[in-house]
Amino acid sequence: MIRILFFAGLRERLHTAELELPADHIATAGDIITDLSQRGPAWAEAFSGGAPVMVAINQTMARPASKVVDGDEVAFFPPVTGG
């Protein structure tokens, strides 16, 4: 299983902080994004819309093409700004 975490506005928008996906059909973070975007309108808007989403795998910043394996933790969050 792959543990998926959602932070900040994504967590609030999707009404969930985490979920698990079976690793058998997932090879990359992009595969997870595709899976999540098919879960309904709010999910499609969050992951297929124009708003950018950042991804981390095992607490390291990643890209959609980054490999994911069974047991990984994948986190999604909106870009943050500092000041």
Domain 2-77 bears CATH identifier 3.10.20.30:
yes
pLDDT, tens digit, 9 for 90 and up, residues 39-69: 999 999 999 866 789 999 999 999 999 999 9
CA-to-CA distance for 50 and 8, rounded, in angstroms?
17
- Confidence label for 3 from pLDDT (cuts 50, 70 and 90): very high
Q: What is the DSSP letter of 38?
A: T
What is the predicted pLDDT for the residue at 31?
A: 96
Q: Where are the alpha helices (DSSP H) in the chain?
A: 8-14, 29-37, 41-48
Q: Does the model's pTM come out above 0.75?
A: yes
The amino acid at 61: M
The number of C-alpha atoms within 13 Å of 24 and in the hemisphere containing its C-beta is 1
